[in-house]
Amino acid sequence: MDNQSKYSMLNDPEMKEIVESFIIETKEILEKLDSDLMELEKRADDADLLNQVFRSFHTIKGTSGFLGLDNLTKVTHKCEDILNKLRKGEVKLNSRIMDAILMAFDNIKALVADIEGEQKADVSIDDTLSALIEVLQEMEKEKAETITVKAEVTEENNYEFSAAELALIAELQDDDEGQQVEESIVTKSNELPETQQTEISSSTKTETTAEVKPPVLTSQNTIASVLNKKGDDTIRVDIKRLDELLNIVSELVLGRNRLTQVNSEALLEYSGTKLSRDLSEAVKLIDIMTNELQLVVMKTRMVKIGKVFNRFPRVVRDLSKEAKKSINLNLFGEDTELDKTLIEEINDPLIHLIRNSVDHGIELPEVRKKSGKSETGNINLSAEQDGNNIIISIEDDGKGIDPDVIKEKAISKGLLSKEKAKELTKQEIFNLIFLPGFSTAEKVTNISGRGVGMDVVKTNVTKLRGIINVESTVGKGTKITIKLPLTLAIIQGMIVKVHEDKLVVPLSSVIEVVRVNAKEIYTINQNEVIRIRDSVISLIDVNELVFHSNGRQKEDEWQYIVVVGVAEKQFGLKVDGLVGQKEVVIKSLGNYLGNIEGIAGSTIMGDGTIVMILDINELINKHAGLIDV
């Protein structure tokens, strides 16, 4: 059965815009609701948060009912009933109730995806409705037991309610739809003696005014007014339009670079003339405006990383219950902004790392207790901006990574020889976990241990021109840091010469540039190295690795070395000359050229020539030969 036949309103052209608005708004509500539910489990007594969660379900119920989405209405209505009982304090929130609400929440997301067309299979709600009804029945039973206890206490205190008071209380307790409570109170209280009317009015007024009731759909309060509740100061823009705008700005940057080149040539030929001065002023203005425009466009594409982070409390909750562990997930820096493209791509790597922290990092409660730790483990997920980069960290206070265990596993799997293992630094040993098929899990679980995941993390981070680094102390925990560029489109680059060719080295990887005498280059184990201060730096011959050419065209007495860093490691790139620094636009090599080892893409210089951009990570991996760095 396709969506057109399942949802009749999709066939109505006049309803198309309303349905699209409904899907967008509902997905936004669900995104916020995901984090709110996790907070509610921690702060069950927070009345404001409980009302906020209630209103979210109520809004989805109202709009879905207007559109005739019966399954969605049924599920949200039952959730609303449960939350209303919690709001009234009839029962306390417990794990059983929360599990049922979360199951319904997952079902609601699946129904919305089904309406949108992202999920082709039919979504069954029978099990969910049965579970919700069962929970409601349990809540009613608990409520009845509570009322019985209260009645016994009342009898001991020799206090009796009048018949009218009991009728009023029963009516207030059964008011599940958030109707006008005050009107009900006034009507019933008129049947009581005057003194009792005064007492009831004063005791209920505070409660009824403090509680904010959700909007009820009427002929005046239509679907459009509910969906368009946001202010007029924001609009939704299709991401494709922003991509087109960014492409135009990228081309403008290339044009600016070309204009700057022409201006430099004009200054040489017409130096001191009015024409050269006017052209120079115009180029400066264009340069300033291009930078401003580029900055504004980049900001429009920025999304808070909290959009990704807020998905993980639920993930950790479910995984920790499955693993029978007690784990807190602490989020920091959710307001840090990142390009939308990066936001979408970083989700999967973070999921893998979170799952590994839950399964491999945090110990079982009894193990933690024996080692003097709190039975509840902590995972800290944080983000911060560092210049033109974003730093994302996943840190746990678990058992840490034992380098000796890593080496033994790598040797037993044939990934590493015993001789080579002795030469590895601690950081290089940690990097072995990113090798395909590597796993230290003693048994395979539903969470991890199949030997897949960490290599995927490294691959995905590398595709984003990012760097991943591992720090760990046995018995104390592990910290994995991911460094990503703010954007993938425009970078600062250092232009170098190798033979007569120009290449771009991403400036984010450059530590320093040194000029050494050819006599200061030594060979150790057939690898060229130089000594800089107290460090020995291994050299990479760009000419050999990129152009597959042995030797240089001419042997100069002096050699330029561009020192680049990846994680804690430093390498030196041998180049023949330095041209300067420039902002460059990364262009894909296209399907014709495909992927070239060591090349991240290309750019167009001011004089129209095409220059390749080096992929520092890949160059170093290729140079290392054994492990990913």
CB atoms within 10 A of CB 98: 18
Collect contacts of 60-64 with beta carbons under 8 A, ≥24 apart: 60/26, 60/29, 60/30, 60/108, 62/214, 62/215, 62/216, 62/217, 62/226, 63/22, 63/25, 63/26, 63/217, 63/223, 63/226, 63/227, 64/22, 64/26
Contact assessment for residue 454 and residue 360, using Cβ atoms and an 8 Å cutoff: no
Structure tokens that stand for 291 in this block: 């930078």
Report how far apart, in Å, the C-alpha atoms of 15 and of each of 10, 21, 22, 117, 480 are. 7, 10, 10, 16, 48
Single out the residue of 75, 73, 93 nearest to residue 83, CA to CA. 93
Q: How far apart are CA 205 and CA 186, in angstroms?
A: 11
Catalytic residue among 107, 257, 263, 356, which? Answer: 356
Answer for the pair 478, 357: CB distance below 8 angstroms, yes or no.
Answer: yes
* Helices 126-156/70-88 angle, 10° precision: 20
Q: Give the separation between CA 186 and CA 301, rounded to whole angstroms.
A: 54
Q: Is 469 helix (H, G, I), strand (E, B) or coil?
A: strand
Q: Is 244 a catalytic residue?
A: no
Buried b (16+ CB within 10 A) or exposed e, 447-471: bbbebebbbebbebbbebbbbbbbb
Please report which helix (H) or strand (E) contains residue 571, including its range: strand 569-575
- The residue whose two tokens read 């993930």 is 315
Looking at this protein, which amino acid is placed at residue 512?
E
**Contact present, 390 and 338 (Cβ < 8 Å):** yes
Residue of 41, 58, 363, 623 marked active site: 58
Contact, 8 vs 69, CB < 8 A?
A: no
Do the beta carbons of residue 329 and residue 362 sit within 8 Å? no
Q: How far apart are CA 480 and CA 485, in angstroms?
A: 17
Burial-class residue 574 by CB neighbours within 10 Å (0-12, 13-18, 19+): buried
Closest CA to 225 of 13, 16, 14, 21: 21
Does residue 80 carry a catalytic annotation?
yes
Catalytically annotated residue among 25, 80, 471, 618: 80
HSE (side-chain half, CA atoms, 13 Å) at 414 = 0
Pairing relation of β-strands 467-473 and 477-485? antiparallel
> Can you say how many angstroms the Cα of residue 391 is from the centroid of all Cα atoms in its chain?
12
Task: Choose among 302, 321, 446, 396: nearest CA to 38.
Answer: 321
Please, which residues have CB within 8 angstroms of residue 436's CB and are 6 or more apart in sequence? Answer: 451, 452, 455
In angstroms, how far is the first alpha carbon of the chain from the final one?
Answer: 50
For 55-101, what is the HEC assignment?
HHHHHHHHHHHHCCCHHHHHHHHHHHHHHHHHHHCCCCCCHHHHHHH
* Cα–Cα–Cα angle for 609, 611, 614, rounded to 5 degrees: 175
Is 356 marked active-site? Answer: yes
Q: Which two tokens stand for residue 483?
A: 């460094």
Rounded to whole angstroms, the Cα distance separating 211 from 52 reads 11
Catalytic residues: 58, 80, 356
